[in-house]
Amino acid sequence: MRKALFLLFATFLLVVFTGKGLLAQDQDEFQKWLKKDQQSFQKFVQEEDRAFADFLKKDWEAFQAQQGIKPFSKPKPVTIPHAPAKPQPKPTVPLKKVETLPPPPRPKPVLPKPPAPAPTMKTVSFEYYSQPVVIAFQKKIKIDLNPPLNNEKISKAWLTMAGTDQKEILKQLRDYRKNLTLNDWGFLKLVHRTACTLTGDDARKCIAYTWFLLNKLGYNAKIAFKQNRMFLLLPSKNLMYERPFVVINKQKFYFITFRGTPNLKGKILTYRGTYQHADQPIALNIQQLPHLPQSAKKRIVHFSYAGKRYAIPLEYDGEVVRFFKNYPQTELKLYFEAPASDYLKYSLLNNLRDLVKGKSEVDAVNLLLRFVQTGFQYRTDDQQFGHEKYMLPDETVYYPSCDCEDRAILFSYLVRNLLGLEVVGLDYPNHVATAVHFHSEIPGKAVTFRGKRFVICDPTYVNADAGMEMPDFKDITPKVIVF
């Protein structure tokens, strides 16, 4: 339709400018053409877009911005205790044999082929982390969101964006998501990067176009503003810690930023309604890692156990570390469930497998405890980052230091994948540990969960064996984290 209109317009101009000039009757014809093009634009804008734009003109309310929820009710200990020497328990149940892993595959990501641009299409390219991305589009988004900002301008911006065919862009985004195995957060960052590229990196326009695309993709995204600052809001299936939010219709809508956290006080203006079929919150589950170009990095971890000193060479994926650098802090369960990169999985499990070979379950667990307790420097997240940051195994190996939950996540990963034993997390008011279910009776402190006895194993309590609990928590019943 638009191609036909373009050809008609070109033919019209050719006739006009090869004649005697633009006469009055020619101006009339030109105005008729413009009117016809405007009519086609109005036809292209769907009814739900017009209805939503009308809604945006009027139904805005002031909502109180609330400060983010803290993941711990008390500060974490700055220094950690060392356990007293303890006689080693007599070995009982031997370990089951765990097969050696093959070397990790190192293929290049399978890239979605960019669509062959139609004559009226252009392309832009950018890097999503280290992954080249090519997006075909009709025209860049041009909207007026200059100060002073108000809902009337936002309504007009929605109509302008809706007046351009977005189907091809949405399809390309979905294709990249599938090929790069992105979870919701990874996909959100891809949408945002695309929006910024197509709006010239103007902050307000970038947020507005991200909001528009997310709604078209089915997410319950909202836009908010305070004075001339604009914000993106999204609900989440999972708690987001230390991130401001507003409550709309009894649901938390979090302020979404990709660098740092906005320092908000007072009220912001937004709306209660929802764009048609856009009711999906984001999920922060990390069931698989993004399929990005890999970046092998190396580190040697030194630790001591039973009078022996060990040096374990490890590889991890630097691109995984980069991807999760600013990941929203969410429920601990999701980190316990998350995988390690192929590099780390192969080097970590294969290099530790020989050390636990022939040992009993409890002796193998104690060795893994000592690997985490003495192989990694302890510092709180506040000391290292200035804020709370839960880490995946690749991050724990990369950063100079780690604290209790990072150690618990890494230790849990080792026990499950190397020894095949059941593990649960233990959540204290300002500490995280683990507990392991053995196939024999192991003395020491334990918790009972679902009819099974789980022996406390604390990867932060230096030199502590299975069954030993930090003195500060001996009278506290922890919450059990199941994953």
d(Cα 2, Cα 49) in Å, to the nearest integer? 20
At 93 the three-state DSSP class reads coil
Retrieve residue 160's tokens.
């302008």
**289 close to 262: Cβ distance less than 8 angstroms:** no
Pairing mode of beta strands 251-255, 229-234: antiparallel
> Cα dihedral sign for 41, 47, 52, 58?
positive
Of 378, 375, 392, the closest CA to residue 316 belongs to 392
pLDDT single digits (tens) 361-405: 999 999 999 999 999 999 999 999 999 999 999 999 999 999 999
Retrieve residue 95's tokens.
């370990």
Predicted local confidence at residue 40, as pLDDT: 52
The domain 296-481 is placed in CATH, from the list 3.10.620, 1.20.120, 3.30.110, 1.10.10, at 3.10.620
Query: Using omega within 30 degrees of 0 as the cis cutoff, is the peptide bond preceding 147 cis?
Result: no
Strand partners for 402: 378
Pairing mode of beta strands 422-428, 401-402: unpaired
Positions in the chain whose pLDDT score sits under 70? 1-44, 85-119
**314 close to 298: Cβ distance less than 8 angstroms:** yes
Q: For the whole model, what pTM was predicted?
A: 0.85
d(Cα 390, Cα 76) in Å, to the nearest integer? 13
**Amino acid letter, 237:** K
**128 close to 185: Cβ distance less than 8 angstroms:** no
At 479 the three-state DSSP class reads strand
Predicted local confidence at residue 19, as pLDDT: 38
Domain ranges of the chain: 2-44, 61-67+111-270, 296-481
How many beta carbons lie within 10 A of that of residue 388, not counting itself? Answer: 18
Would you give the distance in Å from CA 32 to the centre of its chain?
Answer: 50
Give me the residue label for tokens 């020619």. 26
